[in-house]
Amino acid sequence: MAFVVSSGSLATTGAGVTQGWAAPRLAAAPWEYATIWRRQPQVRTVIGFLARNVAQLGIHTFRRISDTDRERLHDHPMAQLLSEPLPGMTQFRWVERMVSDVALYDRWTGIKIKHDGRLRILPVPPSLIHAHGGNWIAPEYFETAGGRQFGPDEVVYIHGYSPGDLVGGESPIEALRELLLEAHEAAKNRAKMWKGGARITGVLTRPEDAPEWKDHEKRRFREMWRSFADGGGAEGGTPILEDGMAYTPVGFNPEQAQYIEARKLTREEVSAAYYIPPPLIGILDHATYSNIKEQHAHLYQDTLGPWLAMLEQELVAQVLPDLDDNAGVYCEFNIAAKMRGSFEEQAAAASTATGGPWMTRNEIRARNNLPAVEGGDDLIVPMNVTEGGLASPRDTAPDTSGAPKARPRLGVKVDSRPSDLGQAAAERDAFVASLVGWTERTAAAFLTRTGAKDGTAIPDLLAQWAEGHEDRLAQLVALLTDHGYRMAQVGAWEVLAPWNPDGENWTPDAMFAWLMAAAETHAEQHEEAAREAIATVQEEGGDWQASLAVVGAGWAVAARARAETAATEARSFGGHDAASASGLNKKVWRTGGTNPRPSHKAQDGEQVDLDDVFSNGLRWPGDGQGATKEVVNCKCTVEYTLEG
């Protein structure tokens, strides 16, 4: 294999060098790009979206210890530089300007300076610095507007791709120039139209057999019509057309000109040039809850991922060599914080991974700005969580092997659809049995712990109930979320099977956060109902043992009603989410049950838009936002349809 000997200088290879070659300038003057950014709202929106989302991530500095270990550096010169690039300039503003310049000009230049014994980097607007001389590999020097020259090693120069050289990039604005020019001309035309007011533009015609006008009659009509037209029809009164005259409008009205569609098209094209999904910048024509959540994750993977990798590598390649301590050092944007999911999702995963509770009471109190309590630094281990026993409180939920299988992500098609879509009743019964069983076991355990079966004096019942409060809530939330997730998938597939059998634009994972929030509400209400009943027993005293047993039985009855309600709510929500993802736009209330409420019976067959509420104020049967009297034990359903 042969090698080109260049004596350490790549420029001597001669590859592609042409006589008279000079470092290229921008395709347009810098102030022209700046003018486009100032005057084109679609360009400013997209570039601002990129710059702000990258800047808010933050950059951390690390040292690689081994392939499986690294150390976060806080006092390293690179970390100090990135935390304060210039005195008084924040990291956010520095990164925001860097990304904005690269997005607008496809290049960014920063001058390396020494200040207070530390390396600093001064960002220079592209209109104030230019590359000169050199060859197709690198410029010879950079010159500022004031005539000061800097060598390539005295600047940080970031640029994109150019098909003709390795020196500079080509701004995406050039590819958008014709589209932006068209949008600019359309805006000018629209401004002229509104400047002229709502003037009528058209042609007046008279029949051929109409009598001929005399000069003074022509002048009279001309003045009358000019007064009417110039005033937009407001100052000239009502025009009188004589002798069978007819008015024929000409030109375009705003609707025919499709100004709104044109503006939306411009934003879509600009977002496509920067590889940004349209819903993320406000184009919500085909947005649903499911695909918005997915696109939020894709934002930090497919849209911003290449930007982050490029900036990280450029900083390491052009800045670290100027620092003494650079062995194994690199920088990284803090994207992990954006990909961890919600606190609820992290908590569920951590509980499963660790086999039990993973935060102490004082840690939770600190997150809610509450003071620490004595004994709050110890982890509470539930009685049903032991080594070699159940893995976590979430395992108290029933076996999920019979639940509908989760559909794959968008674009992946496998045969995983539930084979039986008529299993709503069975899932509801399992939900009821699970919550009632848990309630009866919990009540029995509390009776034993308080000594209610031994005839002892009444203890502090509320204090003993409070001791297991957090543990019971965790178990309840896990149980309710598990069954709610299963019921929601049943409801979803009842809609998907006839309308969207491939599950396009829908994923069950998108429903989890909403279902967990609903489960937390039901858990808190179920827990509070028992606490209030126990407080009444504590206050009345007397035969407290018998009263406490009655409380336990009543709590189990309430659990049945709550499970029925929560099952209806989850099933209805799943159907609504699937309908939205499938593009359906109408929903119809169907009354169910053997003895429905009069209000529900009266609205059987009522149809509303998908995002509206029915006449009883509910979005769907079991809607947790509705009045209790309209929700409890409701067994109604909703049908979805598509109307043009």
Q: State how far the alpha carbon of 104 is from the alpha carbons of 29, 128, 172, 185, 569, in Å.
A: 12, 15, 7, 21, 49
Query: Which pair of tokens denotes residue 336?
Result: 């992990």
pLDDT of residue 81: 92
Work out the angle at residue 583's Cα, subtended by the Cα atoms of residues 577 and 589, and round it to the nearest 5 degrees.
60
Q: CA 313, CA 405: separation in Å to the nearest integer? A: 42
Residues whose CB falls within 8 Å of the CB of residue 376, separated by 6 or more in sequence, listed in order: 360, 361, 362, 365
At 564, the pLDDT band (50, 70, 90 cuts) reads confident
Residue 599 has a CB neighbour count (10 Å cut-off) of: 15
Q: CA 92, CA 333: separation in Å to the nearest integer? A: 12
At 19, the pLDDT band (50, 70, 90 cuts) reads very low
pLDDT of residue 206: 85
pLDDT of 587 above 60: yes
Model pLDDT for residues 23-69, shown as the tens digit of each residue: 445 555 556 888 888 888 888 888 999 999 899 988 999 999 887 78
pLDDT of residue 346: 59
Angle formed by the axes of helices 259-273 and 177-195, nearest 10°? 160
pLDDT of residue 78: 93
Query: Which pair of tokens denotes residue 50?
Result: 């990129």
Using DSSP's 3-state secondary structure scheme, residue 226 falls into: helix
Phi, psi angle pair for 143, to nearest 5° = -125, 130
- Point out the least confidently predicted range of 84-98, 324-338, 374-388: 374-388
Domain coordinates of the chain in residue numbers? 20-181+272-339, 182-257, 340-391, 421-583, 585-644
Residues whose CB falls within 8 Å of the CB of residue 289, separated by 6 or more in sequence, listed in order: 510, 577, 580, 581
Highest mean pLDDT among 199-213, 385-399, 493-507: 493-507
Model pLDDT for residues 218-262, shown as the tens digit of each residue: 888 888 877 776 654 444 467 778 778 888 776 555 555 555 566
Query: Which pair of tokens denotes residue 556?
Result: 């189990």
pLDDT of residue 55: 92
pLDDT of residue 581: 87
Highest mean pLDDT among 139-143, 385-389, 447-451, 505-509: 139-143
Q: CA 624, CA 158: separation in Å to the nearest integer? A: 53
Helix (H), strand (E) at residue 247: strand 246-249
Residues whose CB falls within 8 Å of the CB of residue 317, separated by 6 or more in sequence, listed in order: none
Model pLDDT for residues 368-412, shown as the tens digit of each residue: 777 888 878 877 655 444 444 443 434 443 343 443 433 333 232
Query: Among residues 563, 570, 562, which one has the least CA distance to residue 623?
Result: 570
Query: Which pair of tokens denotes residue 497?
Result: 């099977």
Q: What is the mean pLDDT of the chain?
A: 77
The full length of the chain comes to 644
Contact 167, 139 (CB under 8 A): yes
Model pLDDT for residues 107-136, shown as the tens digit of each residue: 999 999 988 888 999 999 988 888 888 888
Query: Which pair of tokens denotes residue 279?
Result: 């819903």
Highest mean pLDDT among 112-121, 172-181, 197-206: 112-121
pLDDT of residue 565: 87
Residues whose CB falls within 8 Å of the CB of residue 417, separated by 6 or more in sequence, listed in order: 405, 407, 493, 497, 501, 503
For the chain, the first-to-last Cα distance in angstroms comes to 68
Q: CA 505, CA 410: separation in Å to the nearest integer? A: 6
pLDDT of residue 201: 67
Q: CA 363, CA 300: separation in Å to the nearest integer? A: 30
Q: Which amino acid is at 445?
A: A
Token pair 């080109």 is found at: 4
**pLDDT, average across residues 1-21:** 38
At 187, the pLDDT band (50, 70, 90 cuts) reads low
Contact 473, 364 (CB under 8 A): no
pLDDT of 170 above 70: yes
pLDDT of 204 above 50: yes
Q: Which amino acid is at 177?
A: R
pLDDT of residue 207: 85
- Point out the least confidently predicted range of 33-37, 80-84, 192-196, 382-386: 382-386
Q: What percent of the chain has pLDDT over 90?
A: 15
pLDDT of residue 283: 62
Predicted structure pTM score? 0.48
Q: Which amino acid is at 388?
A: G
pLDDT of 642 above 80: yes
pLDDT of 311 above 90: yes
Q: Which residue has the higher pLDDT, 634 or 4?
A: 634
